[in-house]
Structure 1
Amino acid sequence: MPQSNNCSAVLSSPPSPNVSGRRWSPGSWKSKKALQLPNYPDKAEFESVLETIKSYPPLVFAGEVRSLVRRLAEAAAGNAFVLQGGDCAESFKEFGADKIRDTFRVLLQMSVVLMFGGQMPVIKVGRMAGQFAKPRSTEEEERDGVKLTIYKGDITNGVDFDEKSRTPDPQRMIKAYSQSAATLNLLRAFATGGYSSMQRVKQWNLDFLEHTEQGDRYKELANRVDEAIGFMSAAAGGGFAAVEEKLISSTEFWTSHECLLLPYEQALTREDSTSGLYYDCSAHLLWVGERTRQLDGAHVEFLRGVANPLGIKVSEKMDPSELVNLIEILNPSNKAGRITVITRMGAHHLRLKLPLLIRAVRGAGLIVTWAEVGAFFDVHEEEGTHPGGIHLEMTGQNVTECVGGSGSPSVTFDDLSSRYHTTCDPRLNASQSLELAFVIAERLRKIRRL
């Protein structure tokens, strides 16, 4: 992980705190309509918790965020590929070193496959160390005639269907901060402490991938990487140590989550003493979701003033002109490395709607990188634009939450109930994620040859 001095994408640089003559402050979002925020019954406790979080150290640092902006600018120019993945929603109960390690390890495996196949750098961004809040379509859930507040992620309330669990509890924000800090600490150790060394590429395979099609395919690739490292070492005539230290023994890794719980995000926003810009120090990259991307809404107001790279999730409901307006609000200087457009609309809608979005953004002269999978690559090939990355809900655990996958193990509808552990949306398991990486690597290789 980068040190200080954390799909799917459109990219550019930090906005001024003053946009279109409107002053901005970390709390200016409160003057706008805020959707998806919980109603805390004890206001005094809520304010006390926020004051406590304000006194805590930042989880990420401005220097790390600026480094990510530079890397994303390379993706905007077609010279890198973004790999963003992790849990749909992190859980307090499932927290543990092994789970963090396994997700990190699968992302490393996928990045090796993509880098080797696409012959370009891979920017690794985890949906980790902060993905605790979830947007919901309704405010209440009803079971057997009983209505309770709907589960909005562990940072807000509990998943158990009882009044105590479902009542929003501000103390959960402190627990989310503590778990995020512990996760980041372990990720930094993995990224810089030798675990991510390319010389360990053979050791990254997960036990439950042994003797499977994807596991065997990965082993074959790992052998080729090993041979390439050996060749580079021999060719350097003993002078390979410095190259190995810089390029092979560590990796850069960033974190991301949806910017949803604005009071928490504001409490972790800091003014950088070097640049004078404000950074949301809860993560390196933040995204605004389909339900909170209103042009005059509180979430857009908050995000327009922080210097982090940002994501915009769009579905088939997104109007092309609205997307252009939103990008211009969040990135008025139109510089590469700022915005990530995450398309979520399914293959059928993607072929119909994505070309319209691409043409509108390109017609407005905006610098963008786009990311998704499958039909996404076909559309970009037809439009002559660069597919810049992927954004996945995935895990390193051997879950059965999404059907499909070629070869063995392949998850069927009958398998879903055996290991369906997610509290929200289903995730790809390690085998399915690795298979997808091989598919995308082939497409990237084709693009590089054109």
Structure 2
Amino acid sequence: MTDGIALPDPLAPRDEAIAGFALDGTVKGVKPGASLRLDQIGAQGWALPEMPLPLAVLRTDRMRHNARWMADFARRNGLSLCPHGKTTMAPQIWALQVAEGAWGITVATSHQLQVARRFGMKRVIWANQPIGTIAVDAALGAIADPEFDLYVLADSLAVVEGLAAGAARSGHTRPLNVLLEVGAMGGRTGARTTKAALEVARAISAAPGLSLAGVEAFEGLLAETRDVDAFLDTLTATARACAAESLFGSSEILLTAGGSAFFDRIGPRLAEAGDLGLPVRRVLRSGCYVTHDSLGYEQNYRRMRKESLTLDWPVGDLRPAMEVWAHVQSIPEPGRAIITCGKRDIGFDTGWPVPLRLIRVGDKTSMPFGAFHKVTGMNDQHGYLIGPADGLLRVGDIVVLGVAHPCTTFDKWQVIPLVDEQFRITGAIRTFF
């Protein structure tokens, strides 16, 4: 609430493309025989575990907490938050992130850019190189809207040439903001040397229709904190070199980095850029925080809390907000249960799902799994849950799984129910993968 006025719930589906989305038995996770709009799902009185399984769910209170927590972290540490929208591809969740204070939304493809524009995002970092006429023209077409701000990346003279040609085709005078991307040897995109980066920066600065707006990097593929720090120092050194040649053409300089594995390093390292002659905005692009997870990002978060004791951390912690529920389908051997959740239902690219809780058939209470129960593999529609041969598991039991990677779980579901802490379905989000 603001000054006693109740604000609209960002998660509420107000756009007809979301609110009116038809839910019936052809939509994964919807009860057979059901026929309703997405904005009617919260009024059905449905609750877990009464739904067809497997089913991905979002614990709304935890997700709201995470959105508020990360926005607070950014504010406390002198950062602007521009979370990666590809994590969820859910405009309702983007709206929640912006409502909690996010500066903008990050995308990676022209399709994601179109979704962001369609659902009202006003500031976007396209953290990738627009390649080909269609992608370049999408970028230039977007900035024809004077109320829409866009930043794209370039790491080579070839990319700059393509963007400059697009600017010439567009015919309008507003320059396209371009971020110089620096990269690490053996990594992903990005200029590999200061010399190469400066050549690209000079080309951007000199190109009609383009403006060098800052320097960007992605550190998330690096494994060690010291390597991340050294890489981010390359970013700031490159920014200083660009400033020394007066190559920046915007009113403020963006320095931006950040996956979800090292978000603690971004503020301190980017602050090392010092005085660049123009106002500097340090932008964090982490996306997975909004649901967090039960494996990789949770482990990284615990490491960050130990390593970065001098940061201004908000009260509390990030909390896993996404779960996938499944049935025990078969117990063909002692200690080996087959569950109804496979690679079509939950991410597996960074590790197998984590068994969290067991719900007995007909019982509304749950019990936590111990360390001896593990998912050891999955097929398309089956998972292998291994544990003690003690008869604990029974056919029909419900297994609640924590996700190991939010990005590759979201993209398996068109619609994901929102649940309260009593696991009653209060609404749903629609994804646009």
Smaller-chain TM-score bracket? 0.3 to 0.5
Structure 2 length-normalised TM: 0.38
Higher relative contact order by CA 8 Å / sep ≥ 6: 1 or 2? 1
Q: Which structure is higher in strand share?
A: 2
Structure 1 length-normalised TM: 0.36
The structure with the larger Rg is 2
